[in-house]
Amino acid sequence: MATRNRDDFTQKTVLEIAKRAGWLCSFPNCRRATVGATADDNNKAINVGTASHICAAARGGPRYDKKMSSAERSATTNGIWMCRDHGTAIDSTDSKFTVNELRMWKREAEDDARWRVLYGEGTPQGAATKTDAGERLRVAAVADLEVFRRTAKWPSTSVPLTLEVQGFEESVTTRALASAVTSLEDLILVAPPGMGKTSTLFQLAESMLADGRGTPVFVSLGDWAMEDLDFLSSILRRPTFHGISEADFRQVARQPGVALFLDGWNELDSNARKRARVQLV
């Protein structure tokens, strides 16, 4: 039952969240079983799982969303099934896990559970469907953005930036522009060094993920130039893209939605710029 000032899950909702995940932890690469029989013969079960809130049940908790209603906070859609270790991690007050990331994990875990029921095994990684490949690429992009968030490249402010766009009379925010990114053939940011081009790209990427409008893939050109790799190989070698094959990436990229964010063109010398142009053709 929900307690005062806290929108907890009911026991019925907890059971639904657990069943939808197949009673397995939703943390990527964990998937440990959370329920089993006790050693003694008393017909009881051990449960080491927990239904965690994606958006906190109470003010002050991780990812609290004041716009949500009490019913929304205590609904199945706001819960993710975790083992106790990973449940503790995402419920910590200094949690670095984002709402988008946890929703992707929830969807991936439920898809995996459905495949186990229908076909006797988890979601196949080698022969992914278009939808599955797209979801896995999106999950990887979310995790990759979290890695950048912990680097010096990440902007120190979250205040939405505004841009002047050629052909538009009024300036637009990065959030508004993000909704159009996947429908544009190219978007080129022009500004002197230190004027916020990198911050703009990160804000666009965050907005795309928040709105579910596409999958941003960020490339730091300065780092790429030091590698003897093409863009795709450079991206797929990152730990966050582990399990995403070149075939998966190309399959998803054929459809609208994947946006390649190239940052640091001014950092490239003439040879690196020539190599980049050839790869982008």
Amino acid present at 27: F
Q: Which residue has the tokens 């004041």?
A: 66
In sequence order, the 6+-apart residues with CB closer than 8 A to the CB of 119 are none
Amino acid present at 38: T
Higher pLDDT, 175 or 14: 14
Residue 133: pLDDT over 60 = yes
Higher pLDDT, 97 or 55: 55
- What confidence tens digit (pLDDT) does each residue in 138-178 have? 888 989 988 888 888 887 777 777 888 776 677 878 877 77
The pLDDT value given to residue 123: 53
Q: How confident is the model at residue 58 (pLDDT cuts 50, 70, 90)?
A: very high
The pLDDT value given to residue 108: 84
**CB of 26 closer than 8 Å to CB of 50:** no
Q: Of the ranges 108-117, 127-136, 209-218, 227-236, which is most confident?
A: 227-236
What share of the chain in percent tops pLDDT 70?
Answer: 90
Measured distance CA(243)–CA(18) in Å, rounded: 25
Indicate the range of 59-63, 107-111, 189-193, 227-231 predicted with least confidence.
189-193
Q: Is the pTM higher than 0.75?
A: no
| Mean pLDDT across the chain | 84
The pLDDT value given to residue 86: 92
The pLDDT value given to residue 16: 95
> Nearest to residue 3, comparing CAs of 80, 87, 65, 73?
73
The pLDDT value given to residue 194: 78
CA 189 to chain centre: 24
- HEC string of the chain? CCECCECCCCHHHHHHHHHHCCCECCCCCCCCECEEECCCCCCCEEECEEEEECCCCCCCCCCCCCCCCHHHHCCHHHEEEEEHHHHHHHHCCCCCCCHHHHHHHHHHHHHHHHHHHHHCCCCCCCCCCHHHHHHHHHHHHHHHHHHHHCCCCCCCCCCCCEECCCCCCCCEEHHHHHHHHCCCCCCCCCCCCCCCHHHHHHHHHHHHHHHCCCEEEEEEHHHHCCCCCCHHHHHHCCHHHCCCCHHHHHHHHCCCCEEEEEECHHHCCHHHHHHHHHHHC
Q: What is the mean pLDDT of residues 97-106?
A: 87
Q: What is the mean pLDDT of residues 189-205?
A: 85
The pLDDT value given to residue 122: 55
Query: At 191, phi and psi to the nearest 5?
Result: -170, 155
Spans of all domains in the chain: 11-123, 148-280
What is the CB neighbour count within 10 angstroms for residue 40?
A: 7
Q: What is the mean pLDDT of residues 207-221?
A: 85
